[in-house]
Amino acid sequence: MEWTKGLVRLDGEPLDPSALEGKVVLVVNVASKCGFTGQYDGLQALWKARQDEGLVILGVPCNQFGSQEPGQAEEIVTFCRVNYGVDFPLLEKQNVNGSKRSKLYDYLVSSEVGGGKNIRWNFEKFVVDRSGKVVGRFGSMTKPDSSSLKEVLDKALGS
């Protein structure tokens, strides 16, 4: 799957594309100093509950909204692990909007579901099915345990 190539983990190492092959991926632009940061709890719970079914959560730190992710990689990892127990993959900090938008977010936003619309704020969510098709987009207000997100994940996971 082309969209999985060139992804870099927060520790600077490449993310092996095979880690996403055949998986359902929930991509979330995250920030440590945001009113929605508490969603890390729900994302971690979702990851723990559904990773055996083939769900991967990718957290993508972004500092484009109110400078709410100012930290460097080590600070971000420490914050996420200590405060929320996060152990799902975190990617390197990326731009999700503008002329420097990352290739990942180009793919998500330009998909039919993405509709070409900019990311509005932190903790916006995209669901990519096992074949690499973007099948869901949810705003920041949609919590990880929401019924609307669960419905799309259930369908994508075949549950």
Residues that are catalytic: 34
Helix and strand counts by DSSP (H, E) for the chain:
4, 4
- For 41, what's the count of Cα atoms within 13 Å in the CB-facing half-sphere? 4
Look at residues 64, 121, 58, 127 and name the one whose alpha carbon lies nearest to residue 88: 58
Give Cα separations from 129 to 10, 61, 82, 153 (angstroms). 23, 22, 30, 8
Kindly report the number of other CB atoms within 10 A of residue 9's CB atom. Answer: 17
Q: Quick check: helix, strand or coil at residue 143?
A: coil
